[in-house]
Chains A and B, each alone.
Chain A
């Protein structure tokens, strides 16, 4: 469970987050939808404790996020970013094992965990001996996801995890993520600007604009009962034109 209460964060002039309140229920996937600069990524960084909010409070599984308890918070969270943020000097397997190694797990335990996760994300084990630069974009994001899962945290934060992938790989991975989140009972907060992704993955959705919550609800809520014209505009902008649909 992730709870944000009236969280405000300013950079320079305008607020990046303006009194944002948000609750992600346990074992659901919540999608943060919004354009560039809407404050989505800032929100994730606040939850991770990488940024301290100017006002408001954040709790993860009942633990308040504060500078003193960052380590405790980060242990409960797996984090994936758009470009993967894999360490180029380590093989994929070493990247995946890094959080476990940092906590002093025995090598054999790490190895077993890496092999299990490889099966979970559908990667062949030998592939993990490669370096990030030797992997495809889709493979890299799978490895990044493995690393986020290695300590089996209850919460996953994903910042445009599929944003840099080609459409076919993206669609394939979206389906895989839906299955995985459900099987693993993870509480997920996922950031995207892709309406299709929000539709496929999100139990609930929050549309952010300029640091404010525009609307909160299911996809059906947003589509049928838009809080403002912006909601409709945002959803329609990415829908295929009617003439195009005739070809499907």
Chain B
């Protein structure tokens, strides 16, 4: 849609018929305060209002009323010719007449439209035509009065309205809403299938006891989860509120250099603290097992084992000897007993082992007693005999004539276990020290952390004090302000702590809920409810897919909006600092437009001009999206959007950029007006020259009586 012409007749200061032609691109109306800028804007608002039949005699030009003879009538009319798939006209009007006593009567309200059907001009109801070509949803994002109304997301429903109108999200409504009151198909199907499943479970007598337990658990956990989420939301809201308050305060302070220093020191302290905390490992319980710390008292017990295993082995050998002796196996007995003194039980044949024995024989040295054992000596022969005996014992046994005394050889196993664990003895004995060292280490790190925390507290105290001191307050106010800030600080800290706890709790309940649900589903396996369970599982998955897709759609839309808004922001701020626009969706579904720097830090109090530019960028971006969505372009109409801009280069640049944007942009402003020698406002033609687009000058016709409204008439002159 493109506005071609607007006629305003007898509307407030617009006396008689005033027609303005419009072109594409920028259309500027330059006028000082009271010159009729806002009236023009209101005339358009009145025309675009399709909701009511609004005849308001206060709209009628006072000058016209004053001039109108008794019993005569005239017309108030606002009409617009526009291009939207062919030329169309919309016109709103009513008649007014002057009665005998000067009273004004109104009647004959008309709201007409005409469209070109290719053959002829056909009439149509004005409201219908407007709603068809310039629907309310679009109009909401096209007309802006004053700088303070530019933030289109300043009411909680605005974002949803925008998304629902211009993204594809509405297409999901029949399938998924997530709203219990207006469920979509998948919500309904999931709910019904769950009810059917639970009903089938309840009717199954076999599992009734367990079903009751589990479903009561499920109810309890769902309620708990709901409650936790509510608390989490409250705490998140609180954390945001107090952070914003503190950030605002911080940014409004003059002592920003001092603050900067404190903040830098705080950051470094926090970083150090986190690093040291990282060294602290207090998984003592896990170390009891993983590092086998639990064996710290085991030495005594292991000694008992050593003694028992050795005694057992010894006793076995003793009995074996006695047995051999008893059974007359003198030969074997002699061999061993000859080499040792009477009554002494020889070592097990496995000690020392085969390799050790061979090594000692080769070296002609007994490494058990630490003495030489040259070939030919008794000692040498003893070693050779012992090795032979060991080798003999490893030979497959010839079939015995008699059962041996010992059928088993657990003694060997216990000996081997003893030998193998003895190697770890040192480590075991040292465990108490290891544990003590770890505890000492953690203790020392904790002390360091405490020191850091003390320094942090001290810096924060100074910071709070500094924030309070710089508000030009009396001492009493100062104390109160300090108290407030301290409270905000505490509230924020509390909320942040709670968030961590609640997030953990939420996760735990979710896990628990999944577990119980799993058990509940498993209970169904052997019952008639199994089919219901499967159906519910499938429908639940489908519902989740729709939910995910819907969220993705919303996110994509917002990302696109952000991307486009940032492109405009970059254009509109030629050399100044401007940051990055972020559109944040809050938990309650509303949105916030914020500026961030590239390190994701919020810029809480951008100057008004930057803020205005930011909002306008978002508006241009929305306009782009509506253009894509409706396959048509729409004008943007702003009344005094740049009143906070300081005149000069900034304003010139701003309008230069807007005149380059390929969008019909109608702006009413007092920029480009300068005082002449008499103090009258005149157009600064030098600046206008460089602008692309149409420029009108609107001013009060002179002379006029500034105390008599009926002398006021706006005159519009095309100047470019």
Q: Do A and B come from one complex?
A: no
A residues sitting closer than 8 Å to B (CB atoms) are: none
Which residues of B pack against A, CB within 8 Å? none
